[in-house]
Chains A and B, each alone.
Chain A
Amino acid sequence: MPAIVYVCLLFAYPIVYNVLLSLRQSSVIGLLNNSAGFVGLSNYHTAITNPVLPTVVENTALFVVGSIVFQFGIGFLLALFFSQRFPLSGLLRSLILVPWLLPGVVTGLVLRLMFDPTSGMVNQILSDVGLIHTPIEWLTNTHLALLTVVLANIWIGIPFNMLLLHGGLQDIPKELYEAARVDGAGRARTFWSVTVPVMRPVIAVVLVLGFIYTLKAFDIVIILTGGGPVNSTQLLSTWAYTLSFGNLDFGQGAAIGTIMMLISLVCALAYVRSYRGELRR
């Protein structure tokens, strides 16, 4: 089967290659001679003791948690809202998908303009309503840049969360809601006792995928800030890029990449296990 060859060649081989790369001596000269020797875990040691690492890990954690909480929360509210019947709901729902369908470079550019100190709409609105008097440097202020990048990523992620959760809501049998009403349950009660339990598998999928995709996020950060200023928006993914292609330290970059893969894989396997457990129950 050509597909098996394909998967081996373009997924398995690069992963193995990446792991091997992370175990080799990474100096530029060594790589040029193609004589880089194995150095065990020294690249991992260098990466983990790198003074930038704590910042990167903290940024990544804040980015992932902040993005997921709001993408998921707002996405769920929108999914509930669009489950009601009203004219044009289908059309309007698909319009919300637009930010998700756009290439990363496009969303990155558009958001960079939004947060531009002079030409951007955000500062314009804030000063129009009198909240600010001097333009805010959203993307070049080390204290604000990460918040801005998270806000941008929330905007990109809402449609995806809404799409999957809306699909899940449509599959809930109407009889369950009927029964809840007959039992005299209010809206809030119905939500917590009917919607959430029935939706649990969908919610789990959305959160796991959200985690994996947010950890991988790359385009948006590179275009908005490039990981700066002074690493204040550097994430594991952009740091792996900077180490490899900026510092030409491919060994360390590959080490960070391997660590990212392990985190994602553990998350995915934990999900698969809990899913199987649920089936058995």
Chain B
Amino acid sequence: MKSGAPVSNGTEPMRAGPIGPPPGAPRARVVAGLNLVAALVIVGLMLLPLYWAVVTSLKTLQQSYAIPSSLVPPTPTFAAYSEVLHTQGGALATSLVIAVGATLLSLLIAVPAAFALASFRFRITGIVTLVLLVTQTIPGIVLGISFFKIFADVHLLNSYPGLIIADSTYCVPFDILVIRAFMIGLPHELIEAARVDGASNLGALLRVVVPLSRPAILAAALFSFLFAWGDFLFALTLTTSDAVVPMSLSIYKYLGEYTSQWPDLMAAAIFAAIPSGILLVLVQRGIRGGIATAGLKG
């Protein structure tokens, strides 16, 4: 496919050859088939490390060391998974609480802000949007260092609220931009109608705009959850004791203590990857359909 030949449109004469495909639709089908094979190879290569992670998680410790290592688990065992549930279960629960908290806090701030930015044409609207984009350029470690010193003064280190607040910084700018982009597309008459019916701005937001924006809010919530769930930097910098240890930090500490316990480490990694898997499935079918239908209904 890298030759300089023009794309076949079915009308140009085909070169005859011993295995040359016949003109028209069958040739297109062959090309599509070859593309499919190539795509499967590409995806296979990209996902090879993840395959190896799953295989290793199903091995015993001894099998994971064996040379040559087998490409499939010789005697698949879930021992590592039950072991990890035992040792990392608490950390997974901690991460769940923090991620839910950060998601709710972010939406609480982002939804009204997105509404204001979408419906009122302040002069500062453009500036605020630019500022939100600029926040993306701030290195996490800068926030980590500053939060550490600030939180030490206000006693937020080693606490759930501290990590929830810190993690929400990943989400709020993203949420505002995503939800605002959706709200701008909402028909203005609906909001006007609500106002005519005597609703306040808050009433219009809660009763009309939020239900209509559900797909965008849901998408923002899912990504916020994922950002907070995956946080490692704040967990590392804003905890100094074992009081609150989220999943990522717990796995990192485990890695430090038992460097080569690969089956356990991979089982832990797979537990930590569950939300990403769920999100992928939802993105694949739900969200896009949801946005499309909501758009039609609007």
Contact = CB atoms under 8 A, between A and B. Distances in A.
Interface of A: 1-4, 6-7, 10-11, 13-15, 17-18, 21, 78, 81-82, 84-89, 91-92, 94-99, 101-106, 109-114, 116, 118-119, 121, 124, 127-128, 155, 158-159, 181, 184-189, 209, 212, 215-216, 218-219, 222-223, 237, 240-241, 244-245, 250, 253-254, 257-258, 260-261, 264-265, 267-268, 272
A68 to B, nearest CB: 16
B172 A181 contact: no
Interface string B150-163: 10000000000000
Interface residues of B, number: 88
Contacts, number: 255
Interface in B232-265: 232-233, 236-237, 247-248, 251-252, 255, 260, 262, 265
Contact of B232 (A7, A105, A240): A105
A110 B248 contact: no
Interface of B: 3-7, 9, 31-33, 35-36, 38-40, 42-43, 46-50, 52-53, 56, 64-65, 67-69, 108-110, 112-113, 116, 128, 130-150, 165, 168-169, 172, 176, 226, 229-233, 236-237, 247-248, 251-252, 255, 260, 262, 265-266, 268-269, 272-273, 276, 279-280, 283-284
Given A11-B135, A96-B43, A119-B64, 17 more contacts: A15-B138, A89-B35, A92-B39, A99-B46, A103-B231, A106-B276, A116-B260, A119-B262, A121-B52, A187-B4, A237-B141, A240-B141, A241-B237, A244-B141, A258-B142, A260-B139, A265-B134
Contacts of A11: 135, 138, 143, 169
26 contacts: A1-B116, A2-B108, A2-B112, A2-B113, A3-B113, A7-B135, A7-B172, A14-B143, A15-B142, A21-B146, A78-B42, A81-B42, A84-B35, A89-B39, A99-B47, A103-B232, A105-B230, A106-B269, A109-B251, A109-B266, A116-B262, A119-B69, A124-B69, A159-B46, A212-B136, A258-B142
A9 to B, nearest CB: 9
Given A3-B176, A94-B280, A261-B142, A14 B150 contact: yes
A21 B145 CA distance: 9
Given A121-B48, A212-B136, A218-B233, A241 B141 contact: yes
A200 B273 CA distance: 35
B112 A3 contact: yes
